[in-house]
Amino acid sequence: MRKKELKLVITFHTTADAMAMEKACKEQQMPGRIIPVPREISAGCGLSWCADLTDRDKITAMMKAADIEAEDICECMV
């Protein structure tokens, strides 16, 4: 089992938004991965983007440039 760490977790309103995030991150070689939304957080679609806390600024800048809207951006043990 993987050791839990404090991570940046970005949730989305729809599954389409989560898939757009995954596609944009792969194209821009942004770190992170799609995960199910952690139990501690509620989200509209059930999918979230997980990345290191240190990548927050570059990921949020990429999201703004790609016009991807997050439901919430938080820190969570994942």
Match 């969570």 to its residue by tokens.
76
Distance set, CA 40 to CA 7, 36, 59, 72 (Å): 13, 11, 22, 13
Q: Is the pLDDT of residue 7 over 80?
A: yes
Percent of the chain exceeding pLDDT 70 equals 99
Count of beta carbons in the 10 Å neighbourhood of residue 22? 16
> Which band of pLDDT confidence, cut at 50, 70 and 90, is reported for residue 39?
confident
Percent of the chain exceeding pLDDT 90 equals 82
> Which band of pLDDT confidence, cut at 50, 70 and 90, is reported for residue 10?
very high
The token pair that represents 34 in the structure block: 């799609």
Match 């944009």 to its residue by tokens.
24
Q: What is the mean pLDDT of residues 16-32?
A: 96
Claim: this prediction has a pTM higher than 0.85:
yes
